[in-house]
Amino acid sequence: MASAEKVGIIGSGKMGAALISGILKSNKYSSQNILSYDKILERRKYIKSTYGIRVLESVSEVVKESSIIAIAVKPQDIIDVLKQVGENDLNGKIILSLAAGISTSYIVRYLPKNTEVVRAMPNLACSIGEGMICITGSRGTSTLSIGKIKKLFELTGKVILIDEKYMDAVTGLSGSGPAFVYVFIEALADAGVRLGLQRETSFTLAAQTTLGAGKLVVSTGEHPAKLKDLVVTPGGTTIEGLIEIEKGGLRAIVIEAVSKASEKAYQLQKGLKKYFDK
């Protein structure tokens, strides 16, 4: 049955559009119950023509009509949006922030007392129902509201409730993670091209191999090292490649990449502190 809840999405860039797409594809929301606003006219036109949802002309219109208001603007734009959101009656509504690095304790400063606030870190795979989404409530947010957001995001992927202190770590891993995986897929495909495979064929092999390997980890629950050992036969071909991966220090590079992305999320809020504290 389609949800009667109305979801408003402010900011229809990459993440806002991914959320719209994922929710629509679940068929649990009618296109009339998904509302959006972006400050760029061209973007509003694009969203209307691509998804057929209701595209409104201001933040306030979205807030007034929606019971869940998802804010999907860049962290540096969030104060401006929160101020506009906070001018409305938010009774019975849930404010959902997708912004990297911005904690709920900062968000609530711009909203009327007792506003229900949930913070989430999704990723772009939400657009096809395969997202990884971590959510956390602000102090005082009811379990009912957190449950509603969990239910909403479950339409777009796997959801985990997490302590807010881990949000920056999550941002570096599952938020930024798709970009790291794409680099790996591209490198796999380049290797195929080097060995004479057509580019298209190489991409198919690389992407499907990554998808299948990930699905095996998820569906078996096995430690990745155990699954790796199933591929590596003694004296075989794979061990030759693995030696190169270890020589190149791939593990350390990936650990460092996630750590740096997480650190940047932490720094984002620190960088905005002067504006927040005004």
Q: Closest CB to ligand NAP among 80 and 222?
A: 80
Nearest distance in Å: CB 69, ligand NAP: 12
Shortest distance in whole angstroms from residue 42 CB to ligand NAP:
9
Nearest approach, Cβ of residue 103 and ligand NAP (Å): 13
Residues that bind ligand NAP (CB under 6 A): 10-11, 13-16, 37-40, 43, 59, 72-75, 77, 80-81, 98-100, 121-124, 175
Nearer to ligand NAP, 179 or 252 (CB): 179
DSSP string, the chain: ------EEEE--SHHHHHHHHHHHHTTSS-GGGEEEE-S-HHHHHHHHHHH--EE-SSHHHHHHH-SEEEE-S-GGGHHHHHHHHHTS--TT-EEEE--TT--HHHHGGGS-TT-EEEEEE--GGGGGT-EEEEEEEPTT--HHHHHHHHHHHHTTEEEEE--GGGHHHHIIIIITHHHHHHHHHHHHHHHHHHTT--HHHHHHHHHHHHHHHHHHHHHH---HHHHHHHH--TTSSHHHHHHHHHHHTHHHHHHHHHHHHHHHHHHHHHHHHHHHT-
- The residue among 166 and 197 lying less far from ligand NAP, judged by its C-beta, is 166
Smallest gap from Cβ 195 to ligand NAP, in A, equals: 32
Q: In terms of CB distance, is 127 or 141 closer to ligand NAP?
A: 127
Q: Closest CB to ligand NAP among 26 and 46?
A: 46
Residue 72 CB, shortest distance to ligand NAP, in Å, is 5
